[in-house]
Amino acid sequence: MGEPARLTEIWRGDRVESLHLGHAVICSAAGEIVEAWGDPDAVIYPRSSAKMIQALPLVESGAADAAGLTREHLALSCASHMGGHIHTDRVARWLADRKLGDDDLRCGAHMPTDPKAAKEITCAGAKPRQVHNNCSGKHAGYLTLARHLGAGPEYLEIDHPVQKAVRAAWEDVTGEPVHGWAIDGCSAPNYATSLRGLGRAMAFFATAREDGDSPRARAAARLRKAMTAHPELVAGEGRACTGLMRAMAGRVAIKTGAEGVFVAMVPEKRVGIALKIADGATRASEATIAALLVRLGVLDPAHDETLKVLNAPIRNWRGMVTGHIRPVDGLTG
């Protein structure tokens, strides 16, 4: 892996206190690099940023249509949601309509990050269910695909038909063989890929059309449009994915992943973006993706949602501004 580039700085007073390094790439629909910072061939785990790739077989196989899934369902299949009622009620109904339940999921349970939902569970002396897992929408999609394929319930096994379909789609849209795999936080296989490959995949999604000439392209367009139509389902209130997609009014689909990964699909520019912050910091990945979207002219740098992550103030416990999270000079264009 080549040397990472300076991407985001943490300022306190009049000096840089901390620095976040990383890799980023903007790719064209032809898979060519338009711009890059750091090493575009750096191999990473995309983590949850690649959920739209993992959802491709659900749509292109016909499973989504056979199950009557709507845009809301497709948005949830790409989501890292907060476990609020807006998310969990929909996933629970999705499962129930298929005569499936929480025990059929294989993602594990964790407390929701939605404050109201977490308070409800705590005050009731209850425990979170798997449906509260931020990846439960993706797993509901896996279950739906498994049933459509007539496959067994252990849909996370690497040789299961669901995961074989995911790997095939992954290698196709990234344009390269996977560089191995590891288990993600939700227990699903996550395939290692280069930043260039991930950017190429996002460019494929950016340029895909619902009247495209292949089932995969049509599926990609439907998933991208589901994300931009329902940004509140992709993440939740207060999250960068939701806020920035709203700020761009459906023009761009974006998705975060754990350990400082972020991607974007920019149809009007016919490009995809992929980035990885070397130290895994979310504050840096959010600032960097916003900077690159401003650079492309698709995100207003003065929008309230932009200002939450780009040149965002750092406040102390008294509310005093003590510093800022800033992109390096020149990153916004």
pLDDT tens-digit readout, 279-314: 999 999 999 999 999 999 999 999 999 999 999 999
Q: Which pLDDT band holds residue 82 (cuts at 50, 70, 90)?
A: very high
112's tokens? 């929701």
The string of pLDDT tens digits covering residues 268-280 is 999 999 999 999 9
Q: Which pLDDT band holds residue 2 (cuts at 50, 70, 90)?
A: confident
User: Is pLDDT above 80 for 54?
Assistant: yes
- Assign 56 to helix, strand or coil: helix
Beta bridge partners of 256: 262
From the list 38, 4, 53, 35, the residue with the least C-alpha distance to 175 is: 53
Give the class (CATH, top level) of 5-327.
alpha beta
Instruction: Please name the amino acid found at residue 126.
Output: A
Q: Give the pLDDT of residue 69.
A: 98
Rounded to an integer, the average pLDDT of 5-10 is: 98
The string of pLDDT tens digits covering residues 21-31 is 999 999 998 98
Instruction: Please name the amino acid found at residue 92.
Output: A
First to last CA, the chain: 26
Give the burial string for 7-26 (b: 16+ CB within 10 Å, else e).
Answer: bbbbbeeeeeeeebbbbbbb
Instruction: Please name the amino acid found at residue 171.
Output: E
User: Which residue shows structure tokens 């309230």?
Assistant: 304
- Assign 327 to helix, strand or coil: strand
CA 200/CA 7 separation, integer angstroms: 21
Average pLDDT for the chain: 97
Domain spans, the chain: 5-327
Q: Give the pLDDT of residue 29.
A: 86
CA 19/CA 328 separation, integer angstroms: 9
From the list 210, 219, 225, the residue with the least C-alpha distance to 65 is: 219
User: Is pLDDT above 90 for 45?
Assistant: yes
The string of pLDDT tens digits covering residues 188-236 is 999 999 999 999 999 999 999 999 889 999 999 999 999 999 999 999 9
Count the Cβ atoms, other than its own, within 10 Å of residue 164.
15
Asked whether the beta carbons of 109 and 132 are under 8 A apart, the reply is yes
CA 59/CA 85 separation, integer angstroms: 25
CA 264/CA 288 separation, integer angstroms: 11
